[in-house]
Amino acid sequence: MYAIVEIAGLQYKVEKDQRLYVNRLNVEAGKKVKFDRVLLIEEKGDVKVGAPVIDGAKVDATVNGEVKSDKILVFKKKRRKGYQKMNGHRQIFTSITINKITAKAPAKKAAAKATEEKEAAPKKVAAKKPAAKKATTAKKPAAKKPATKKASPKKPVAKKADK
């Protein structure tokens, strides 16, 4: 049995009793954590895919502690200018051990969903009421508005020749 879980913004494929290094979590060593963003679960050939997550599924884990990754060296240089810059970085990870993968929703939630489905299914469509009769009052024709003069585009004035 394995699951695909989203932990700290990244997706991991996890199995029971697996040790995993994830981006730093703000949890003390020895504490238990639960991850409820389970995207996929495979159990004995049966695959369940969430949209986007599987309701009621969770992964329980224990935090082992924090570890540092290998040092990454960043070296900058501009040739013929005498410029060199060396920098290093060590990422901090949290080590966790997967204890249990739970695929099924709790009984309370499953029972609530079943009752919701029963209530939603047998709704009857109400009979349509006949449309109200329209009043037969004669409408007066709209009064004509006086025509307004449209401004005609100005024509260029011809220049008079001087004598």
**Phi, psi (degrees; rounded to nearest 5) at 91:** -75, 140
Domain presence at residue 36: yes
67 inside domain: yes
56 within some domain? yes
Total of domains in the chain: 1
Residue 103 lies in a domain: yes
In a domain, 60, yes or no: yes
Is residue 62 within 8 Å of residue 53, measured between CB atoms? Answer: no
Looking at per-residue confidence, does 119 or 20 come out higher? 20
pLDDT the model gives residue 131 = 64
- Residue 6, domain extent: 2-107
26 falls within a domain: yes
Whether 51 is covered by a domain: the verdict is: yes
Supply the Cα-derived Rg of the chain in whole angstroms.
Answer: 37
71 vs 141: which has the higher pLDDT: 71
pTM (global) more than 0.75: no
pLDDT per residue as tens digits for the range 74-133? 999 999 999 999 999 999 999 999 999 998 755 555 555 666 666 665 555 566 666 666
Residue 95 inside a domain? The answer is: yes
| Local confidence band at 136 (pLDDT 50, 70, 90 cut-offs) | low
Rounded distance between C-alpha atoms, residue 116 and residue 56, angstroms: 17
- Which whole number is the average pLDDT over 134-163? 67
Q: With bands split at pLDDT 50, 70 and 90, how would you rate the model's confidence at 156?
A: confident
Is residue 35 within 8 A of residue 42, CB to CB? The reply is no
> In this model, does residue 66 exceed pLDDT 90?
yes
